[in-house]
Every structure is written in C-alpha cells, then in structure tokens.
Chains A and B, each alone.
Chain A
Amino acid sequence: QQQVKQSPQSLIVQKGGISIINCAYENTAFDYFPWYQQFPGKGPALLIAIRPDVSEKKEGRFTISFNKSAKQFSLHIMDSQPGDSATYFCAASMNSGNTPLVFGKGTRLSVIA
C-alpha cells in the first residue's frame, strides 16, 4: 500500500515557467510534509516543509500548498531555472515521536532554456 502518491513522474518546464508537483496521502495521522530535492550523485536535501496548521508556505521561489480535507499537498516552483533540474520527493510522517518518513516515488524535473 503506497501511503504517499506523487505525480507526475517526470516534468519538463520552460525556463521562467512554473513547475507543479502534486502529492496525495492516505494516513490522516500524518502531520509533517516535507519536500526533498536530489541532484545526481547527492543525497536528498530538505527543500521546504509544511505542517497542517497552515494552507501555504513560501520560501523564495518555492511554495507548498496544503489541502487537509483533500489530503493533498503540492510544490510550486516559480520562475523555474535550469539549476532547478533535479528529482523532487514529497514525504510525510507523524510529527510526534520518532517516526520515519514515507516517500513518494519522485518527480524528475527538467527545466529547459
């Protein structure tokens, strides 16, 4: 049973455009939703995270939108740049205790000039 479903699997965006990656979760006990960015040859790096007490969080060009009733959250990358080309993973966990993350399958983003 896949607890976090991520789409699309791959995405090609023009430079300057908006990249949108979507995730849906099943476990209503999840209350921590991070996004990780992974470049080839590197480990995943925390990009931005949101908790369900807010519907949106913005850090620079990166925004998470969160819809608790729909059990969905998405990553928006504004003014996408070639340097944003990477694989993006959404994840979820329960904030309390020491619970691990459950990951989506990842989205390979290519930003072309």
Chain B
Amino acid sequence: SAVISQKPSRDICQRGTSLTIQCQVDSQVTMMFWYRQQPGQSLTLIATANQGSEATYESGFVIDKFPISRPNLTFSTLTVSNMSPEDSSIYLCSVRRGTGSGNTIYFGEGSWLTVV
C-alpha cells in the first residue's frame, strides 16, 4: 500500500481567502491526482499533476482557481483560491503505485475544508 499524508486534515476558512493543501507520499510516484468530493457526493477529478510539467485540469476546473505545484516525485500542493462557500469540500490526493497489472490507486485521508 501507499502512505499518503495530507495537510491540513481540516480547516475552516474565511470567504475570499486561499488555502494550500499539501500531499506527501512515502515513495516516488510519476503522477499525482487531486480530487474534490462535495458533501454527500462522489469524487470528481480536479487535475493530474506530473512532476516537472504543468498540471492537466479537467473540464470545469482552472489553474487560476486551483493552482497546483509538483516540485518533486513525492510531494504536491493544491491551492484553493479566493474561496467561497461552494468550495466547501473534501480535497483528496491520490497516487497510482505498482507496475503493470499489479498497480493500484490509493487515496490520502483528505483535507476537509469548510468556507464560511
């Protein structure tokens, strides 16, 4: 399995502010994925982060709102900018580990953001 640590685990944020979420993995991975899970909903992919290149964003998500950094093969950050109550969600970091038919996708515990 993979050990994925996310910080902060929870936060209450003021409207209009920005918050950066950190994701640390216990070993090197090529791709890291950022998901959002709104209350009572499923997981939606925000972007894919590859080390050394710009993140690839899914439809409906833009870099100005969710800038991502990927400075090395074990770490990534997601910033939620200019937050509004609609951004209240769980933000999850995910990685794929293993090779070939043995690879598996793991998630961190998530960062629970409440915007007031």
Q: Are B42 and A95 in contact (CB under 8 A)?
A: no
Q: Are A103 and B42 in contact (CB under 8 A)?
A: yes
Q: Are A89 and B105 in contact (CB under 8 A)?
A: no
B→A interface (CB under 8 Å): 1, 30-31, 33, 41-45, 48, 50, 90, 92, 94, 96, 100-101, 103-110, 112
Q: Are A51 and B101 in contact (CB under 8 A)?
A: yes
- Contacting residues, chain A, for B45 (C-beta < 8 A): 100-102
A→B interface (CB under 8 Å): 32, 34, 36, 41-46, 49, 51, 89, 91, 93, 95, 98, 100-106
- Contacting residues, chain B, for A93 (C-beta < 8 A): 105
The 8 Å CB contact of B42, one of A49, A51, A89, is A89
| B30, B43, B90 pick with most chain A CB within 10 angstroms | B43
Given A41-B112, A42-B109, A98-B96; 10 other pairs, CB 8 A cutoff: A43-B90, A43-B92, A43-B107, A46-B104, A46-B106, A93-B105, A95-B100, A95-B103, A101-B105, A105-B41
